[in-house]
Chains A and B, each alone.
Chain A
């Protein structure tokens, strides 16, 4: 099947406006603005079953429907902060198929009544932002952005905003703080951004991949979109495959594809022809899945992955073969979260600090059993107490690695096997 999101793999030069338009580009935006009411666009997206692709999986149309009609102006913000270890899909979309993403931003803005949209990119995506600025200028010249679009009263401007290196800014309220020129620390919710967002105004924050789906839904309809994927997970998904596989990369596949198919068929098998030991289904924020036959044959959709005691999340699949001990793996993830914890809430700030010291003790072989028990205890005590998902996510790999791979925490010095 031809790609629906990674269309640049089938159509050369689709990152040029004329090529994108020759292939039907911006017809969906035109159709929405000239033939549909904003509410009809929202209804179509809701009926399509599209769920947020950034990790939370919240139904996109429902998120839009929370925007109130009596507080103005409204904003749309594209979350292009992509910083989860194991996730690299949004960058490819913005670099190679940028107009489909920007058309999605425009459709979201029309549906929610926003006349200004911001694309928040992580600072490391500097060249991507420069390139997007050029694409936005192309759209302005072609009359696809600006005032009075398609002869209607609707107008829209899109701006890029560069972050500067902070994983926490992928959390939507921290992201909004960052655009406002403050430290990227999450807000206490409620109120949610739909009511109190950017500059205190109603704001929709959607992930890049989510937005890139919108032109398809408007063009081909909710029923067509729903016919792809599975009952609870409509459409296609980009799976970012990394770690111990021969062909790591992004794979656009229908929901419901199995881990076995992803790893052995698309990913070319496991490095060194060794057995898969563990799978992380949602990047570093993931629980550790024991890669037995049942797990490998599990379809990748929201409900089925939950059945494995994990989450689909952003579908960043990290494969770990049997040459690695998991105490080394969580040493890596703990250091990541310790570094990225914003410091605002105590459970996360202090918890990550103590988890780091304990995993280092385990790595040095000091009182491994007692240190492991204490590490598990600290992680469990953090759960359900953090202000935002970052703190909660930091514990997922820790508790599940200890519970599901106990043998990896009985080894002696140097923490057993590592990459």
Chain B
């Protein structure tokens, strides 16, 4: 239960909005629900619906509409490479293809150890620093800019090491 597990965060989230507008808390609460496993469970959707006094469909449609919410388990880290026009003009498509080759996966797939899911995404507002990607983990997002395949593989190795420690 979110309200039992993260009482301080839940209180801070509700304090941002007028008391009679608590539906506004749905997006931050969904991020909180995603914090542990990187995806949102049906139980979490139902709990948030109860907290906000809206239907679980109204919560689920938010999960479906916005791309940073996930309702299925994937790799511990989602490596999201921007392949939009400005990045592509700086070689992002080639970068993604080579990276997939190095990792032995296709776009959308997860490495066999369950560590990394590779995704192609739309513009991340870093067009001058392509090739670039963001890493979405359960508890946050980080940008990696002006990347090469070699440097990305070093990052993967580092994540693999730290991921094992966590497990």
> What residues make up the interface of A, taking CB atoms closer than 8 Å to B?
82-88, 90-91, 122-127, 159, 161-167, 178-184, 199, 240-244, 248-250, 284, 316, 318, 320, 324, 329, 332-333, 336, 339-340, 342, 419
Q: Verify if B112 is at the interface (C-beta below 8 Å from A).
A: no
Smallest distance from the beta carbon of A270 to chain B beta carbons, Å? 11
Q: Are A86 and B127 in contact (CB under 8 A)?
A: yes
Given contacts A181-B26, A240-B127, 19 further A-B contacts (CB under 8 A): A85-B122, A86-B85, A86-B123, A124-B141, A125-B125, A159-B16, A164-B67, A165-B67, A166-B65, A181-B24, A182-B23, A242-B89, A242-B127, A243-B86, A248-B127, A248-B128, A316-B127, A329-B85, A340-B122
Q: Verify if B142 is at the interface (C-beta below 8 Å from A).
A: yes
A242 to B90, CA, bound (A): 9
Using C-beta atoms within 8 Å of the partner chain, give the interface range for chain B: 35 or more
Q: Are B31 and A91 in contact (CB under 8 A)?
A: no
Q: Are A332 and B85 in contact (CB under 8 A)?
A: yes
Smallest distance from the beta carbon of B92 to chain A beta carbons, Å? 8
Within 8 A of A (CB), among B51-67: 52, 54, 58, 61-62, 65-67
Q: Are A124 and B68 in contact (CB under 8 A)?
A: yes
The 6 closest A-B pairs by CB, nearest first: A164-B66, A165-B67, A248-B128, A181-B23, A242-B127, A242-B86
Smallest distance from the beta carbon of B38 to chain A beta carbons, Å? 14
Q: Chain A residues with Cβ under 8 A from B26's Cβ?
A: 181
Among B16, B65, B67, B68, which residue has the most Cβ atoms of chain A within 10 A? B65
A84 to B125, CA, bound (A): 7
Q: Are B127 and A320 in contact (CB under 8 A)?
A: no
A40 to B54, CA, bound (A): 43
A84 to B58, CA, bound (A): 28
Q: Are B85 and A162 in contact (CB under 8 A)?
A: no
Known: A183-B65, A284-B84. A82 touches B141 (CB 8 A): no
Q: Chain B residues with Cβ under 8 A from A240's Cβ?
A: 127-128
Q: Chain A residues with Cβ under 8 A from B61's Cβ?
A: 183
Other-chain residue from B31, B89, B127 in contact with A88 (beta carbon distance below 8 A): B127
A240 to B130, CA, bound (A): 14
Q: Chain B residues with Cβ under 8 A from A316's Cβ?
A: 127
Smallest distance from the beta carbon of B16 to chain A beta carbons, Å? 5
Q: Are A333 and B124 in contact (CB under 8 A)?
A: no
Among A167, A182, A336, which residue has the most Cβ atoms of chain B within 10 A? A182
A85 to B68, CA, bound (A): 18
A165 to B17, CA, bound (A): 21
Q: Are A124 and B65 in contact (CB under 8 A)?
A: no
The closest CB in chain B to the CB of A83 belongs to B123
Q: Verify if B126 is at the interface (C-beta below 8 Å from A).
A: yes
Q: Are B28 and A162 in contact (CB under 8 A)?
A: yes
A162 to B23, CA, bound (A): 14
A-B contact pairs, 12 of them (CB 8 A): A85-B86, A124-B124, A124-B141, A127-B141, A162-B31, A181-B62, A182-B23, A199-B21, A318-B85, A320-B89, A329-B85, A336-B122
